[in-house]
Structure 1
Amino acid sequence: MTESAPSPLLDLPGAVATDAGRTARHYGSPLGEQKKAMTTEAGALFDRSDRDIVTVTGAPRLEWLHSLTTQHLTSLKPHEGTQTLVLSPTGRVEHHMNVYDDGATTWLDTEPGRGEALLKYLELMKFRTEVDLADATGEWALFTYTFPGAAEEPAPVLQPVPVPKFAAKDLLKVPTAVYPGSELDRTEGWTRRTDALGVFTADLMVRREDAGAELLSGDAAPAGTWAWDALRIAANVPAFGIDTDEKTVPHEVAPWLAAAVHLDKGCYRGQETVAKVHHLGQPPRRLVQLHLDGTDEHPPAHGTPVSLGDKEVGTIGTAVQHYELGQIALATVKRSAAADPDARFDVAGQAASL
């Protein structure tokens, strides 16, 4: 994959770059950025231009992706988006992608550093299918706006997750999550409504050379990765490969089961595990949100063990300071530990609760 160039938003006053140097960790006030994103009329602009982007073109692109992934994509209309997963033969999550189709191209965006493996897998699965794949990371960039209180635009549509032993008619033959979108008026690109963060949220895809003028013309406050992580954790939105691992199955991650998995569609790799867990069993672990007591001013690092009594029951994914909630984290823990709402966990000496 082409490594994305440093974002134009890094030139803004107060910008502190992430370790990778491609986007900003914050712009001088990480807690203030969170609050502005969730409470002010102008909202916030999140720089997510480090995400990897793959494009798929060709008439059979949606049918082809439908056959490879967990989502029902054949009925996705132009200027609509969704989410989908690629699973291993044993049902473990290998890739998570946000999807958008503009009528000619299907856009897939995934976590930084994950695009190369995704593109390689898709290339191997082409066979004689008349689709073309491209790495668009160097040319295009993704940004996300919040608009607290806005309600005039079409909202995302989510189908309810059916109970085990459901009848086929209980789940429509459409994507389980549909995010409406449209072309941009002033420049090339598109916008896509999402259900992230708990307020009106919209993604914006633009050419990198157009990003500065297009993005900085509004009143939204720039916000960095610290603020994004805090708000997505509060909204129970996982990051693939950070809040998940090589053992993760879809049923362990409730937001993905609701938005990225269709439980009644044609065969795809790993489908047998999805069906078995849904109808016959329970996942061995759960992704949960933890509230830490803050006795250590530094949130625990990724991979820090989570203990219950004298037993290790899980690990921390992302942990960060939230402007209202204090220290919060997403963690993967054993199902039995997650079942007790009053459980008190230990995370590197800090007490934590669900």
Structure 2
Amino acid sequence: MSTDFLSLPGAVAATGIDAGVPAHYGNPMGEQRALADGTAVVEVARGVVTVSGDDRLSWLDSLTSQRLIGLPAGASAESLLLDPNGRIEHDLRIVDDGSTTWIITEAPAAASLATFLDRMRFMLRVEVADRSADFSVIGAFSAVALDGIESVALWQDPWRSPSPGGVTYAQNPEHPSSEWTWFESVVPVASLAAVALDIVAGRRRVAGTLALDALRIAAWRPRLGVDTDERSIPHELDWLRSAVHMNKGCYRGQETVAKVHNLGHPPRRVVLLDLDGSEGVPVPTGAVVFAERAGEQVEVGLVTSSAIHYERGPVALAVIKRTVPSGAVLTVMADGIAIAAAQEVIVPEGAGRAVEVPRISRVAAAPRA
């Protein structure tokens, strides 16, 4: 990340996980439209880690959830680094150029990811480097919007359709990810000044992270460190869709991934909430979600992301208890006001248990003669 985009006219700095890049340039709704149309670019708060060496792909394959052996040069993939209990620690957006694997991750997570990978090298032919100081990441919904920008790697998000070996729990035949044609370009920091000049001269359009976040929420796209916490497993966020290969070899956390999918259920599930905006009260991250049960309001989860979409209005992602019925009446508390929230199911109540284990018939033993 650099300060070039923050120096653009109207730029307002983002906070939190997006600190270091602009949240908007004075017109978040207009920026959303331009971004959705594929005519604008946005600097995103990402870190960049590289892995080089002959064993890089097979080594990353052994550590993470995606099948990476044989990944063609220039092809994109997404993989998760899980803890031994299957909880999500890192999201890796991967593209290999034939000699180096470029990993795009959330900016606050880059240093810890590089440290972990470096400790796991042992005697293998791999070298790990945190290159976040040298490279920034610019995104767009069209590769055309990124034309002319110096780039060392271009990653295309696989969220649009289930990856080979992946599984999706979403049952909506019109999955909103059909419009999620997202690209991220790894750009040398030194070249950002030229991109900024193009924007000032009107040769490029620009948007902020608020615009991107609203579109991400509407596409049901989870984000590390925003929609996850220390307990999150991939099943809860439908992340088996793009980042987990269910038929590959062993990796850290695989046992939990397989058991929950085949024999159990995730304890929580993500939903999209269409929020009542008539009160004009913004819904913050961490707002409590309530469901009506036996005439009482019971706490069932938390809002993880919220935004105002340029077409749908106020929307949010929330992680709630799996057992909350899909037809339950939900409300969100914000500023002491109960806001009605229509639930759009992403991960259904019955997610998991892909393999039904037959029950053993317990027949009493016949008495011996």
TM-score interval for Structure 1 and Structure 2 normalised by the shorter chain: 0.7 to 0.9
**Residue 279 (structure 1) aligned with residue 262 (structure 2):** yes
Structure 2 length-normalised TM: 0.79
How is 1:171-320 mapped onto 2 (pairs within 5 angstroms)?
187-195=150-158, 198-214=179-195, 217=198, 219-254=203-238, 256-309=239-292, 310-320=297-307
How is 1:138-177 mapped onto 2 (pairs within 5 angstroms)?
138-147=133-142
Identify if the C-alpha distance between structure 1 residues 19 and 134 changes in structure 2 by more than 3 Å, giving closer, same or farther: same
**Residue 334 (structure 1) aligned with residue 321 (structure 2):** yes
**1:60: Cα distance to partner?**
0.2
How is 1:91-102 mapped onto 2 (pairs within 5 angstroms)?
91-102=86-97
Task: Give distance in 1, aligned partners of 2:285 and 2:212.
Answer: 16
Task: Give distance in 1, aligned partners of 2:158 and 2:234.
Answer: 19
Structure 1 length-normalised TM: 0.83
CA contact (8 A) 1:147 1:199 kept: no
**1:289: Cα distance to partner?**
1.0
Q: Supply the AA of the counterpart residue of 2:341.
A: A
**Residue 346 (structure 1) aligned with residue 344 (structure 2):** no
Report Cα offsets for 1:174-193 as digits up to 9, x if no partner. xxxxxxxx9x8774513233
CA contact (8 A) 2:95 2:153 kept: no
Identify if the C-alpha distance between structure 1 residues 127 and 209 changes in structure 2 by more than 3 Å, giving closer, same or farther: same
Correspondence for 2:11: 15
**1:53: Cα distance to partner?**
1.1
Correspondence for 1:166: none
Correspondence for 2:2: 5
Report Cα offsets for 1:97-122 as digits up to 9, x if no partner. 11111111111111121112212211
> Where does structure 2 lack aligned partners over 5 or more consecutive residues?
160-176, 344-369
Task: Give distance in 2, aligned partners of 1:186 and 1:234.
Answer: 28
**How many residues are paired up?**
312
Name the SS of the counterpart of 1:114 in structure 2: helix
Report Cα offsets for 1:293-350 as digits up to 9, x if no partner. 014434322211111022111111111111111111111111122x41x322111111
Correspondence for 1:90: 85
> Where does structure 1 lack aligned partners over 5 or more consecutive residues?
151-181
Q: Which has the larger radius of gyration?
A: 2
CA contact (8 A) 1:83 1:260 kept: yes
| Greater CA drift, 216-225 or 274-283 | 216-225
**1:273: Cα distance to partner?**
0.7
Moved over 6 A (4+): none
Q: Aligned Cα RMSD in Å?
A: 2.2
Task: Give distance in 2, aligned partners of 1:240 and 1:60.
Answer: 27
Identify if the C-alpha distance between structure 1 residues 232 and 34 changes in structure 2 by more than 3 Å, giving closer, same or farther: same
Name the SS of the counterpart of 2:50 in structure 1: strand
